[in-house]
Structure 1
Amino acid sequence: MSGQDDSGAVLHYRALENLYASAPINALFPSRLAIMGSGTAQIEFEVDERVFHAAGAAHGTIYFKMLDDAAFYAANSLVSDRFLLTTGFNLHFTAPVRSGKVVAHGRWISGKRRVFVAEANLVDAQGEEIGRGTGTFMRSRIALSGLPGYAVPSE
């Protein structure tokens, strides 16, 4: 990839990070997205009692949201013109989490035209896996450039 291509890709990654930060849902689930390269994404967030179920650990909603988002943005890092849509997601809970920093690592697996497959795993502050999932994502008719949150930062 040439320097120009790399520069364009990095601008796309930063614009996707802006898009993520602009989503109203993230006011309810404070978190931070970082796209480090093509086909990868990472989301960090803090778990506390605000997201607990009745038995005192993080509700599955948190697992799904962070795993889906990490896999989604890993896939969308490969697509610079269209917003992808989640068409399916398979989730596995491997351990409960009660508090602390949790990180979702997303990785693109396959597909580059219409349908993309990506996976993500969730690790707690001790580095132990607490969940994993695989999703399918499809190109939509929604242009990224038409979304107010998709702001390509000026150099």
Structure 2
Amino acid sequence: MTRPEGAEAHHRALESLYAAAPINALFASRLEIPEPGVARIRFDVVPDHFHAAGAAHGTAYFKMLDDAAFYACNSLITDRFLLTTQFNLLLTRPLAAGPVVAEGRWVSGQRRVFVGDARLIAADGEEVARGTGTFMRSRIALAGLPGYRIG
């Protein structure tokens, strides 16, 4: 098996970084970056994520949408970790327990500020939310972060 190189190696390292983040111990999920500017995260929503009325709390929507848009944008730069500076949400339907996919994509920006959007797709194939965020290049080097491993 050959080791990934270039963009593919960066994408695999970002997937590893995502898996290593402590917050993801609370959310059963898996990141896939199939190509530059695109990220897909498969989540399992569980009752622990529910608000008092028995559906996913807004924090779960935000987590899924922000992560997908963020990683779509960070897939385009190999040196620095991006930071979310703003995020807008549109929640269109309550989300029950079960699998959900967050699909993120880069929209614009290539230097300091990036714009990405994402949508949540429930198990029945229906969109339940969407969001748009801005992400700024930080001073944090990706190579120094635990979990970001090339090769």
What interval of TM-score do these two structures reach, taking the shorter chain for normalisation?
over 0.9
Residue of structure 2 in register with 1:144 after alignment: 142
Comparing 40-49 and 69-78, the one that deviates more: 40-49
Measure the CA separation in 1 of the matches of 2:109 and 2:125: 29
What is aligned with 1:30? Answer: 28
Q: Distance in 1 between matches of 2:35 and 2:62?
A: 23
For 1:79, give the aligned amino acid: I
Aligned partners of 2:146, 2:131: CA distance in 1, in Å?
29
Q: Distance in 1 between matches of 2:143 and 2:22?
A: 18
Q: Which residue pairs with 2:112 in the alignment?
A: 114
Structure 2: runs of 5 or more not aligned: none
Is residue 97 of structure 1 aligned with residue 95 of structure 2? yes
CA RMSD of aligned residues (A): 0.9
What does residue range 10-29 of structure 1 map to in structure 2 within 5 Å?
10-29=8-27
The 3-state SS of whatever aligns with 1:112 is: coil
Q: Partner residue of 1:131? A: 129
In the TM superposition, residue 7 of structure 1 has moved relative to its aligned partner by 3.2
**TM score, norm. by length of structure 2:** 0.96
User: Partner of 2:37 in structure 1?
Assistant: 39
The one-letter code sitting in structure 1 at the alignment partner of 2:39 is A
CA–CA distance in structure 2, aligned partners of residues 7 and 132 of structure 1: 32
**Distance in 1 (alpha carbons) for counterparts of 2:47 and 2:63:** 17
Query: C-alpha displacement at 1:30, in angstroms?
Result: 1.5
Q: What are the ranges of 5 or more consecutive residues in structure 1 without an aligned counterpart?
A: 1-5
- Listed one character per residue, the Cα deviations across residues 96-131 of structure 1 (whole Å, up to 9, x for unaligned) are 011211000000000000000000000100110000
Name the % identity. Answer: 68
- Tell me the equivalent position of 1:52: 50
